[in-house]
Each structure stands twice: as structure tokens, then as C-alpha cells.
Amino acid sequence: MVNAHLNERRHVFCLFLDFSKAFDTLKHSEIVDSLQRSGIRGKTLNWLEKYLSDRKLTVKIKDTFYDLKKVENGVPQGSILGPLLYIIYINSIFSVPKYADLFMYADDTVLVVAHEDLQIAERLLQKDYNRIQKFYHDSSISENQAKTKLLHIRSPHLQFLTEPKILSHSFDCLHVSIADTCHCKAVETVDEHVYLGIVVDVVSETNVCPVAGLTLDEAAAFLAGVRARRAADRR
């Protein structure tokens, strides 16, 4: 898709979104509502509701267990159903963007917008990013704005005068009004970004897989490191 846009001399913006503990912030009642909206009824819905309800956690330090605490948010970590429940909960996000293509793998999300005019591409992406942010605010999901990154992919022969600027608006800015005096910070623009283990950079011809040319053991070690970093980011 990106190469097709580049062949048409378009600027391609990829906005990689990062979320803070996305699996831990979902309210159980809202997960059940999303299951019902997806057509899950009867005994199956009742079973899933009981699966989520009355869950408790404790902490053990050496031989000491601390008081049990009731868990009312989040999908069960390490379970097979956890990612599936998250995907069902978040499924309606695909109807949110009007101009961008949206790609997701679990909570790894990217918005892609392309246009011949850099300013138009920037404006379309900003509109859809605002919509996505409002959707996540309303869905009790918190964005990690410091780790959200913007990548501007273009042909090396395509000239432009100004760097793109996409603002990451605050909750009040989005839900009250986006004023001309908005002081929200811009998303950091980077030259490369690792998405699902693949290095994506600003010139499509140099997009490479980081495990290419490695032995099986070296590739396995690299991918294990990627998974470990992603797991640490979600804690």
C-alpha cells in the first residue's frame, strides 16, 4: 500500500499509537456490554460475565501473602481470552477514522494517511487522530503520548518546505473545544520505528526486517527481546 502511494508521488504519514496498560484499564461492565453488542447472548454471555466478576489478586513477598483486593478493571493477564476480549471491546474503532487507514494487532495501532499535498495529508491525519483520541478517552483507555510517534514516508525526490506537525490534544481540549490558543504538544516525528518487529523508515526502499541475515538462534533472541520490551511497556 505504501509503495503504491509513493509511486503516485504522495506523502505518507504513519502515526504509531502507544497505550498505557491497555489491557488493564477496561471496565468489566463495559466489556460485557461490548460482548452483547457483538451478538453474544444467553449462557455464553453469562459465563463470560462470571469469568470476569469477583476476581481477586494478592501479592506474595517471600512467605507473606497480603490482603486480597477485588479487580474491577482489565482482562485477565496471561489468559487466552484476554486479548480476544480486548479485540471485541475495541472492535468498533474501525468505524472511527474517516480519512486514514487503520491497522491493529492487539493494542499495536497505526494510522496511515497519504496525499500529494503535505498540508492536506497533515490536516486529514490530525482530524482522524482527534477522533481516535476521543474514542479512547470514552473507552477508558489511556494513550502514552510520549511513546506515540509520527513517521513521514516519502520519495527521496519529493521536496517539501515544512516538517509535518500533528498535535496530541488533551482530554479537555478534545471534549470541550480545540481553540486557536491550544498549547498541546506535537507528536514526535522520527526517522524510523519498529512495528511488530519490523523496522519502518522514512524511505520505503530501506524498510528492512531486523532478523534478515541472522542465524535462527540470533533471530529467536532478537524476537524474544522485542516481546520482553513490549511486555515491560504494558506493565
Contact 164, 122 (CB under 8 A): yes
Pairwise pLDDT comparison (183 vs 97), residue with the higher score: 97
Tell whether the model's pLDDT for residue 168 goes beyond 90.
no
- pLDDT tens by residue, 70-89: 887 888 777 888 888 888 88
Averaged pLDDT, 204-209: 46
Cell numbers for 104: 491493529
Has residue 219 got a pLDDT over 70?
A: no
Nearest CA-CA partner of 40 in 93, 94, 104, 85? 85
For 234, phi then psi, to 5°, come to -85, -10
Which tens digits make up the pLDDT trace of 98-157? 999 999 887 788 999 998 888 899 999 999 999 999 988 888 787 888 888 998 887 766
Judged against a pLDDT cut of 80, whether residue 208 lies above it is answered with no
Tell me the percentage of the chain whose pLDDT exceeds 90. 15
Higher pLDDT, 187 or 78: 187
If residue 86 lies in a helix (H) or strand (E), which one and from where to where? helix 81-90
Please compute the mean of the pLDDT values over residues 46-62 and round it to a whole number.
Answer: 87
Give the pLDDT score at 205: 46
Name residue 228's beta-bridge partners: none
Yes or no: say if 135 and 96 are a contact pair by the CB < 8 Å rule: yes
- pLDDT at position 72: 79
